Structure 1
Amino acid sequence: MDFLFEIGLEEVPARMIAGAEAELLKRVTGLLERERLVAAGAVAKSFSTPRRLAVLVSDVTEKQEDLSEEMMGPSAKIAYKDGVATPAAEAFARKAGVGVGELRTVTTAKGEYLAATVVKAGKTAAQVIQAELPKELAGIYWAKNMYWRAGKPEKFVRPVRWMVAMLGGEGLSVGFAGFVSNDVTYGHRVLFGAERVELSAPAEYEGKLLEAKVIVDVEARRHRIRKELDRVCRTVPAMRWREDHALVDKMTHLTEWPSVILGSFDAAYLDLPEEVLVTVMRDHQNYFAVEDAAGKLAPYFLAVLNTEADEAGQAVIRHGNERVLRARFNDARFFWEFDQRTALLDRMSLLENVTFQKDLGSYAKKSEQVWQLCRLLLEKAETRGVQADFNALHDAAKLAKTDLTAELVKEFTELQGVIGGLYARAQGISEKAAVAIYDQYKPTSMEDSIPRSIEGALLAIADKANTIAGMFGLGLEPTGSKDPFALRRAANGIVKILAEMPVGLTLGDVAFRAASGQEELSRKIEVFFAERLEFYLREAKGQAYDVVKAVLVVRADDVRDAVARALAVTAVRGGADFAAVSSAFKRMKNILAQAAEKGFAAAAVVDVALLTDAEELALAEAAAELAPRVASLRGAGDYVGALEAIAGLRPQVDAFFEAVMVMSPDEAVRGNRLALLGKVLGDFSGIAEFSEIVVAG
């Protein structure tokens, strides 16, 4: 049978819908699997719109199978006295729901005990769902919840308005938030009104709602929006809508029956910076920008509606949207022109009155600290051959936060930094400084790009590291899922910059200078950075957990080097020789650890005269010959070549472990063999700790 569940709500914020849809699907399928009502991996599909979350699961059984289980009771000595059942045996029989005569005696490691086979009758799917599903609903995580019934305990992201629960062709009574589910849902609020949509089977769900002007399938809605954007944009020759995945996703979760209209605005507004115009359209009005074939912004916009209208209705809607956008553009133009009356240099003093953090002082103080950190980082980078424009970096660091006093940033906070860069360019500040100011907050996520210049990269690193050091110094480190100052995001940004631009800095360089040389604080920041490097390798680079661990155990300071080593290990780990050598290196490490526990010491150096077996001599000679080559490849950054060379040791390693007993009773021989294993590990584990690599079998 199919099982359908839908919970109808007042409009849910778009940013919360996808996560809740996935969680509801996981909870419902998990419940049915746990209660033995569907097989693991059963076919299931989820749906969502701003007003509903739903799940449809196929092949649900009507009733649980009876479950037999063994129940253990008291010991036989206590249960019987002179062959007669004692009260303990009778109590156990009652608990098990069987007669005393059905009890058995079983022998365990602790002696003889009573046992009984208990058969638990399976419940119907309807009984299980009605009893357990409300608990799953109450457990869904929402970033914000609300109460809406005075004196009632339930809370949810938005008030519940209806529920549907159907198993096969029958409606189920699931109670939650004062509602009891049935077989009735509702269509589009405007286009279909309050008319009921009655279902006779779960399979009708999508089709009947489609007739009621609701597209419940998220991907179908997303596809419709993209097709409509293409279609409407083609009405303007040689134009295309500016690709914006995030906005498409947002509009998908804001609509149930999307349609698109084209609007326009006065081309005179194109004199404003494109960033300002696009931000107003995108972030404030949810409009898609339109551009020409060269990628230049055009005086049009596309609005996604949650309705459909005839030509006259569209004209009214278009006029209203154009009027609102015109007002927003006028505000932006006024603030742009007003801000130009005060130079960025004159705004520096205004930062004294802008608080960064109550215990860390003003943005004027932070700007000075960031400049000093920029200077220190540049000095270190220059020792490694990195060159940057000192004067441009100085101007960028000093002026970076001045746009926080600008009216345009107060109105459009998303543009901080960007506005500063645009104002710097407009006011004749050097282009390098302007670009660095523009990019100072990059990257804001793992998907965002890094700063375009070395000056911008140093400024972004210094700004983020200064914030991290300041908060850590106050004891305000992130804990669990809580990170109110977005320090993880800041550290992620530093790691991403160091990984993707040759800045000539390590995590230790940044941590030590940001901590002003305070060793304890520096160590805490380094550990924090290492955690974010692990996150970067796993999430941004897609590296397996064991590869990441193997690489970072060796060194977790040089980000670019760690990335290169991880990619190299991943490239060669599939080879049989590499897998065998990794397994052998793990064995070597274990042998050395066991020897240390037993107090067996390795010799200081390997004595060739004590290598009496041909196999150990062959390993020593092959390793000695290979070590310089591997060191050379490592020095050149050819980690793949180095790892492939190390894998070439497999014949000698295999033969050694086949024929040689490391833990020889002869103390000198044993110590020499332990020294040989130690040297092999030391010479060839500089890229990754091979013992951490998981090998199949």
Structure 2
Amino acid sequence: MAEFLFEIGLEEVPARMLASAEAELARRTMDLLGRERLLDGDVSFESFSTPRRLAVLVRGVRPQQPDVTEEIVGPSTKIAYKDGVPTAAAEAFAKKAGVSLDALKTVTNAKGEYLGADVHRAGRSASDVIVELLPKEIASIYWAKTMYWRAGKPERFVRPLQWLLALLDDKIVPVTWAGKTAGNTTRGHRVLHGAEPVVIEHPGQYRERLEAAKVLPHVEDRRYKIRKALDHVMRTVPETRWREDHALVDAVTHLTEWPTVLIGKFEEEYLALPEEVLVTVMRDHQKYFAVEDKSGKLAPYFLTVLNTQADEAGEHIIRHGNERVLRARFNDARFFWDYDQKITLADRVEKLRNVTFQKDLGSYFDKTERVRALAASLEAIAADRKIPVDTKALDEAALLAKTDLTSELVKEFTELQGIVGGLYARAQGHSEIAAIAIYDQYKPTSMVDDLPRSTEGILLSIADKADTIGGMFALGLEPTGSKDPFALRRAANGIVRMLGEAKLPITLSEIATLATTDPETCSKVKGFFAERVEFYLREAKGQAYDVVKAVLAAGAEDVSDTLARAEAVTAARGSEDFLAIAASFKRMANILSQARAKGDSAPFAAGKEFLTEPTERKLAEEAGRLAAWVDGLRRKQEYEQALEAIATLRPHVDAFFDSVMVMAEDEKIRRARLGLLQRVLADFSKIADFSEIVTAA
């Protein structure tokens, strides 16, 4: 088997786009080779990416497709022959198949008789197949943004194409796309290696030759080197460590080809600024890592990852330049901080009239008023359910939540919206509860982000997100397919997470009703929330598909309760008795469905006097006794105990099905038995619809 190496050389690609593009190129290449019968034996692949390249190396590639014989089907025999003589349709089919008329055969399928032919196709060389089909795969790679770079040419790509490399073992595969034809050369580091091409004579040399040219093509090699270098540099400053930041490590990994790390220092006077401001300036604007002491407090140092390698004199110049830039950014932040304090948050409320939220939904002042009302309604529901909330602090937070959008600091550092508002509220003497709620108002921003730290913060966040969802749905701007320009799915995911994990007894229907003004929009929002609950249970909590389907069938209004039921069902499904009773419930549901299909209509309300068999009377008796007990456990949310109790019904259900014919000829007996099954399902399906649980039987 051969090795196939393919590389696309580009001008620098945005770091955020590289990981998905690398994975897609590898997937498309493997799919192509597999689809064309060019993979065999011990197949494996590696993918690579740097800011200037995407590459994939596949092992286990056939040099040539195997020959195949396949049956093709042509026109029906009614069309192919007239009075036993082949028609033009038959002749055309024979010509297409490359066989004589005598070689045609009759193929019978569900639609009738058709002409058929066995066609032998000789395998093509891997090189020919790749040259023909790989350009289509290159052109199909998804990029969030693309560009034209050749006047009058149709190709669009993320950045201009600079070179192509394609090798099948030691042979060049002349793939051509966008005016470039693949060869056996790539390029090293733009500065450290220069313009001299790097010759690759065999795919196995790829990493070695590029490393000699100061490029680490494998993402994980660069990540490892960066982390080790960060650790190494910090040994020069005792009692400190670099602040762990996975997202920033990812970013600088995709920004470099030959990473090195340099430490810099800034004046301690800047530590008087809030840590959030300093870290944002370093992280989001300069891609610097923050440094902290053993207690976790920020230290006056930073680490920068370079895409070069300098001598001592060069490092001094680079360090001085980075320190100068950071000092200027910190001075800007300090100026904005001091300037903003001249106007209180309370005085900024009126300024929100001049900040547009959405053209049809008004200004942020209008949104503030809606959110205040929504938050007050949520607080009333929470209070009614014995959840303590500081009403005054919540309203204060809702009133001031968006005022930092008028501040100079947020205009300069938009990543700090909400955070700056919370810091300003604290600095200006507002309630600490209100300050924390303002600070946390945008949380959670993902399925792994922290929740707001207080009940007031959670209610404010729900109110803000629900107002946005309700308003956008009212305008018909709900998400469609993969498009969600207003991040409504993320907002709904946040609401679901807060309700589920903070165990807040407010239902999704209540939120949807408060956030909308008409029944049709409200119904759409409820459906949207239901989709997000399913996503939350499956993707965030890892619940199995059938468990999710089962608990949602029993209701999903209370997210915390739905999560608890799902976790209980997952824990119980390891029990043999539980799986058996789930299979029995599925059987009951099927019998009832079939009965209705045959004309028996629900409800089946015949009296108990028609239950004459001992096993059916025993089932009715045990189910009635157990139902009250299970319902009591359910109301206390003791779901695991409730499921254990339901499983004890198994012997009575088994005995019933072993000895009773449900669909008896006597209508009164049949309806009585159907009524029993209906009652059992209704009484014991309030935790989950167990008929949805997948069982081996």
Change in 2 beyond 3 A, CA 1:81/1:326: closer
1:572 aligns with 572
- Tell me, in whole angstroms, the C-alpha distance in 1 between the residues paired with 2:397 and 2:112: 80
Kept in 1, the 8 Å contact 2:505–2:560? The answer is: no
Distance 1:315 1:84, change over 3 A: same
Structure 2 equivalent of residue 585 of structure 1? 585
Contact 2:229 / 2:261 at 8 angstroms: preserved in 1? yes
Matches within 5 A, 1:100-139: 100-108=101-109, 112-139=113-140
Distance 1:75 1:303, change over 3 A: closer
User: What CA deviation, in whole Å up to 9, does each residue of 1:84-139 have, x standing for no partner?
Assistant: 65555444332322223323345555555443211122211111111111111111
Q: Which moved more, 1:186-195 or 1:478-487?
A: 478-487
1:197-208 counterparts in 2 under 5 A?
A: 197-208=198-209
Q: 1:592 to 1:170 in 2, by over 3 A?
A: same
Which residue number corresponds to residue 689 of structure 1? 689
Q: In the TM superposition, what whole-angstrom CA distance separates every residue of 1:537-566 from its partner, at most 9, and x where no partner exists?
A: 122111122221221121121010111111
Pairwise CA distance, 1:660: 2.3
**Separation in 1 of the partners of 2:96 and 2:316?**
75
Alignment of 1:415-494 (within 5 A): 415-494=416-495
Whether 1:554 aligns to 2:554 is: yes
- For 1:345, the equivalent position in structure 2 comes to 346
Deviation at residue 621 of structure 1 after TM alignment: 2.9
What are the superposed Cα offsets for residues 289-333 of structure 1, whole Å, 9 maximum, x if unpaired? 000000000000000011111111111110000000000000001
Q: Secondary structure at the match of 1:58?
A: strand
Identify the residue that residue 663 of structure 2 maps to in structure 1: 663
Which deviates further from its counterpart, 498-507 or 329-338? 498-507
Q: Residue 606 of structure 2 contacts residue 668 of structure 2 at CA under 8 Å; is this kept in 1?
A: no
Cα distance in structure 2, aligned partners of 1:391 and 1:109? 74
Conserved? CA contact 1:549–1:692, under 8 Å: yes
Of 57-66 and 644-653, the range deviating more from structure 2: 644-653
**TM-score scaled by structure 1?**
0.97
Which one is further off, 133-142 or 118-127?
A: 118-127
Counterpart residue identity of residue 254, structure 2: H
- The 8 Å contact of residues 602 and 670 in structure 1, kept in 2 or not, is answered as no
**CA deviation digits over 1:566-600, x for unaligned, max 9?**
11122222333322222221221121112112211
Contact 2:368 2:398 in 1 (8 A): yes
Displacement, 1:653?
A: 2.5
Aligned position for 2:55 = 54
> In the aligned structure 2, how far is the partner of 1:479 from the partner of 1:202?
43
Q: Secondary structure at the match of 2:164?
A: strand
Work out the CA distance in 2 between the residues paired with 1:260 and 1:80: 79
CA distance in 1 between counterparts of 2:80 and 2:394 reads: 86
Question: Which range moved further: 394-403 or 83-92?
Answer: 83-92
Paired with 2:110 and 2:218, the residues of 1 have a C-alpha distance of 57
Cα 1:27/1:696, change in 2 over 3 Å:
farther
Please report how far the alpha carbon of residue 39 of structure 1 lies from its aligned counterpart in structure 2 after TM superposition: 4.4
Displacement of 1:641 after TM fit?
Answer: 2.0
Partner of 1:188: 189
Contact 1:606 1:676 in 2 (8 A): no
Q: Distance in 1 between matches of 2:373 and 2:272?
A: 37
Could you tell me how far apart the structure 1 residues matched to 2:234 and 2:167 are?
A: 42
**Alignment partner of 1:475: what SS?**
coil
**1-side partners of 2:371 and 2:602: how far apart?**
50
Aligned length: 696
Aligned-residue sequence identity (percent) comes to: 64
* Structure 1 residue 202 displacement after superposition: 0.8
* Within-5 A mapping of 1:475-554: 475-516=476-517, 518-554=518-554
Structure 1 residues 696 and 168, CA gap change in structure 2 (3 angstroms): farther
Query: Following the alignment from structure 1 to structure 2, what is the Cα–Cα distance between the partners of residues 89 and 367?
Result: 75
- Specify the alignment match of 2:278 in structure 1: 277
TM-score, normalised to structure 2, is 0.97
Task: Check 1:40–1:472 CA distance in 2 against 1; reply closer, same or farther (3 A cut).
Answer: farther
CA contact (8 A) 2:40 2:62 kept: no
Aligned counterpart, 1:297: 298
User: C-alpha offsets along residues 19-73 of structure 1, whole Å, 9 cap, x if unaligned?
Assistant: 1111111111111111111149931111111111111111011111122222234
Deviates more, 1:375-384 or 1:120-129: 120-129
Change (3 A) 1:156 1:618: same
How far, CA to CA, are the matches of 1:479 and 1:558 in structure 2?
Answer: 26
| Match in the other structure for 1:215 | 216
Shift in alpha-carbon separation, 1:155–1:82, aligned structure 2, 3 A: closer
1:250 partnered with 2:288: no
| Conserved? CA contact 1:602–1:673, under 8 Å | no
Equivalent position amino acid for 2:351 in 1: L
Matched residue of 1:222: which SS?
helix
Instruction: Provide, for residues 398-441 of structure 1, a one-character-per-residue CA deviation record: whole Å limited to 9, x for no partner.
Output: 11111111111111111111111111111111111111111111
Residues 49 and 554 of structure 1: CA distance in aligned 2, closer, same or farther (over 3 Å) = same
Query: Do the aligned partners of residues 109 and 254 (structure 1) sit closer, same or farther apart at CA in structure 2, a change above 3 Å counting?
Result: closer
Q: Is the 8 A contact 1:259 1:305 kept in 2?
A: yes
Contact in 2 for aligned 1:601/1:671 (Cα 8 Å): no
In structure 2, do the counterparts of structure 1 residues 393 and 124 end up closer, same or farther at CA, with 3 Å as the change threshold?
same
CA–CA distance in structure 2, aligned partners of residues 40 and 142 of structure 1: 33
- 8 Å CA contact retained: 1:186, 1:196: yes
d(CA) in 2 for partners of 1:485, 1:614: 62
Counterpart for residue 622 of structure 1: 622
Q: Which position in structure 2 is the counterpart of 1:373?
A: 374
Moved more, 237-246 or 60-69: 60-69
Report deviation, 1:656.
2.7
Q: Quick one: distance in 2 between partners of 1:361 and 1:109? A: 62
Residue aligned with 1:156, SS = coil
What's the offset of the Cα at 1:471? 1.5
TM-aligned CA deviation for residue 356 of structure 1:
1.4
Structure 1 residues 120-129 or 244-253, which shifts more?
120-129
Change in Cα spacing, 1:654 to 1:165, as seen in structure 2 (3 Å) is farther
Aligned counterpart, 1:643 = 643
Q: Is this contact kept in 2: 1:603–1:672, CA < 8 A? A: no
What SS class does the counterpart of residue 577 from structure 1 fall into?
Answer: helix
Q: Flag as ranges the 4+ runs of structure 1 deviating above 6 A.
A: none
Distance 1:522 1:449 in 2: 28
Secondary structure (helix, strand or coil) at the match of 1:441 reads coil
Q: State the one-letter code of the partner of 1:164.
A: L
Where 1:662 maps in the other structure, the secondary structure is coil
1:208-241 Cα shifts (integer Å, max 9, x gaps): 1111111111111111111111110111001000
The CA distance in 2 between the partners of 1:600 and 1:515, in whole Å, is 41
Query: What is the RMSD computed on CA atoms of the aligned residues?
Result: 1.8
CA distance in 2, matches of 1:176, 1:86: 44
What's the CA shift for 1:632? 2.1
Partner Cα distance (2:424, 2:79) in 1:
89
Q: 1:599/1:83 Cα in 2 relative to 1: closer, same or farther (>3 Å)? A: closer
Change in Cα spacing, 1:610 to 1:290, as seen in structure 2 (3 Å) is: same
What is the CA distance between 1:273 and its match in structure 2? 0.4
**Structure 1: which 5+ runs fail to align?**
none
Question: What pairs up with 1:321-340 in 2 under 5 angstroms?
Answer: 321-340=322-341
* DSSP-derived class of the 2:158 partner: coil
Q: Deviations over 1:444-471 (max 9, x none)?
A: 1112111101111111111111111111
Give the match's secondary structure for 2:39: coil
Structure-2 change in CA distance of 1:141 and 1:76 (3 Å): closer
Mean Cα deviation higher: 129-138 or 594-603: 594-603
Of 559-568 and 571-580, the range deviating more from structure 2 = 571-580
